[in-house]
Amino acid sequence: MQPQLGWGDDPPARGADRGDGGAEPPPVGAPWLPGRHLVWTLAASLAVVGLGAVAGRADVVLVGVGPLVAATWALLLRPRGEVWVDVEPATTTAGRIGARVHLAAPPGTEAVRLRVARPSHGHVEALVAVPLTRTLDVTAPSVRTGPQDLVRVDGQGLGTGGHLTGPATRTTVPPVTVLPRAGTMPGLPLPFRLRGLTGQHASRRPGEGGDLRDVHPFQPGDSLRRVDWRVTARRSPRGEQLYTRRTFALAEAHVTLVVDSRDDVGPDPATWSGHVPVRPDDATSLDVARRAAATVARAYLTAGDRVGVEDLGVRQRTLRPGGGRSQLDRVVHQLAVLRPQGDPAPRVRPPQLPSGTLVYLFSTFLDAEPATLAALWRRSGHRVVVVDVLPTLRRGALDGRGRLALRIVEMERRDRVADLAAAGCEVVRWTDDDAAARVQLMARQSHRRPGVGVGR
């Protein structure tokens, strides 16, 4: 996964403001060294002129004067100062991260040799013509989310014909946060109990805006606009009794996304110990959890529901439930900064959730704590959807002991997930192809009719 260079459209001025105060170019006067070809040209020219002068041959002297004058002229007019390189993060879209490289070269610079590298991703080199200033767009594919190292850019100026070489400069960029990309969900499972007096979901309570509940004789307090004149004419031809149409109330769902950030493992079990780094082109379990949680949050917030975030790894990372577009931005950012931080203390009790909350638990279930918390939430009356985010494993690099250890871990995982299903939790493996169909089936069970599968 090597960075790719693309040309920008609008080169900025030297020292242009980037929103953070900008950066000033280095002081003028840094030395430019002659290249090997220029040194050999000077030496050969001086030798030819000297031999012609000693031998009294004017034609030989004229042969050496031309290259000597050209090389001397190049030395006298060599650029002064360093090539200024500034890097700023660019917009990250659809699995690609980018940066914008600003270049400013002193007069007399013909080209700039660039080397763009990302840690553990390789590097790419390019020779760029820089007419004083230029802007380059650098992009690189990335399957990772969360805090990521951007790029390191090394630049070196070249004089006319490449015979002069300027001092090398290096520019690094602080890590950037890559936000997870939210997908789409075909259906929305609802909690056992809806809350609030607004929303888009029909509840059991009588109220305004929902489906038809029944037709009832007019009572004090009923609105005349709800009188059903056809039913009234059929049941009370003389008009002694009016009949009104009563509906169900609309309500909203409260959803809590619980992310287990304690584990961030890749598809290769040999990297789980931490001694072997995960390949940069492999999505880890936390990458899968971020994308899955962002997809769920976007679907519910678009439907007008309220969404919050809980982190099992760090207790201070709690986002209170809220709604709207701004809440989606907060949720996505909260998911992006989740990462393992040391060895968290065991929880004595699960995080306290509002009554009637739909819980989505995203975990690898490599240990028993997430399964224990999910079972406690289910016994408390919450609807719990367990999302398994462990990537599809690769076993080719394991030896006999590694395969045996992995088999034991998988057996323990299957037992935990089976116990959760037996306790009433709904299990979805997000990395499977039928994950969307499973979620759609759970949504149909919630939407059969008001009062079935959905509480008050």
- In CATH, what number is assigned to the domain containing residue 107? 2.60.40.10
What per-residue confidence (pLDDT) applies to 25? 42
For residues 25 and 119, membership in a common domain is answered with: yes
Would you give the end-to-end CA distance of the chain in angstroms? Answer: 52
Q: State the residue range of the domain holding 281.
A: 254-446
Q: Say what the pLDDT of residue 432 is.
A: 67
Asked, for residue 365, whether it belongs to a domain, the answer is yes
Q: Coil, strand or helix: which one is 2? A: coil
CA distance 271 to 279: 9
Kindly state whether residues 13 and 120 are assigned to the same domain.
yes
Quick check: is 46 in a domain?
Answer: no
Spatial separation of the C-alpha atoms in residues 79 and 434, rounded to whole Å: 63
Name beta bridge partners: 209: 249
Amino acid identity at 307:
V
Regarding whether 217 and 142 lie in a shared domain, the answer is: no
Yes or no: say if 389 and 364 are a contact pair by the CB < 8 Å rule. yes
- For residue 289, being part of any structural domain is answered with yes
**CATH number, domain containing residue 430:** 3.40.50.410
Quick one: 300 and 231 in the same domain? no
Q: Is 264 in the same domain as 244?
A: no
Tokens linked to 350 = 């699960």
In 3D space, the residue among 35, 33, 30, 44 whose CA is nearest the CA of residue 105 turns out to be 30
For residue 155, the one-letter residue type is G
53 lies in a domain? no
Q: Would you say 158 and 110 are in contact if contact means Cβ atoms under 8 Å apart?
A: yes
* Same domain flag for 395 and 261: yes
How much is the pLDDT for 214?
58
Last residue of a domain, one of 154, 178, 202: 178
The confidence score (pLDDT) of residue 371 equals 92
Structure tokens at 427: 């299990």
For residue 112, tell me if it sits in a domain.
Answer: yes
Overall number of domains in the chain: 3
Tokens 């951007």, located at residue: 150
3-state DSSP assignment of residue 313: coil
For residues 173 and 279, membership in a common domain is answered with no
135 and 110, same structural domain? Answer: yes
Those residues of the chain that have pLDDT short of 70 are 1-30, 35, 76-77, 91-94, 161-162, 195-214, 216, 246-251, 348, 432-433, 445-456
Considering the domain architecture, whether residues 268 and 389 belong to the same structural domain is answered as yes
Q: Are residues 284 and 367 in the same domain?
A: yes
Query: Residue 51: its pLDDT value, please?
Result: 83
Which tokens hold the place of 371?
A: 């399964």
Indicate the pairing of strand 357-363 with strand 383-388: parallel
Pseudo-torsion of CA 386, 392, 398, 400, nearest 10°? 60
Are residues 97 and 178 in contact, defined by beta-carbon separation less than 8 angstroms? yes
Give the number of other CB atoms < 10 A from CB of residue 51. 14
Contact 247, 207 (CB under 8 A): yes
Helix, strand, coil % in the chain, rounded to nearest 5: 30, 30, 40
Question: Among the residues of 398-434, which ranges form H helices?
Answer: 400-422
Last residue of a domain, one of 136, 155, 178: 178
410 domain-assigned = yes
β-pair type (383-388, 426-429): parallel
241 and 262 in one domain?
A: no
264 is a domain residue: yes
Tell me the per-residue pLDDT of 286-320, one tens digit each, with 9 for 90 and over.
999 999 999 999 988 888 888 999 988 887 778 88
Strands 4-7 and 383-388: unpaired
Which residue from 364, 258, 360, 355 is spatially nearest to 315, judged by alpha carbons?
A: 258
The vertex-302 CA angle with 299 and 304, nearest 5°, equals 115
Could you tell me if residue 456 is inside a domain?
no
For residues 327 and 448, give the distance between their C-alpha atoms in angstroms, rounded to a whole number. Answer: 29
- Are 131 and 274 within one domain? no
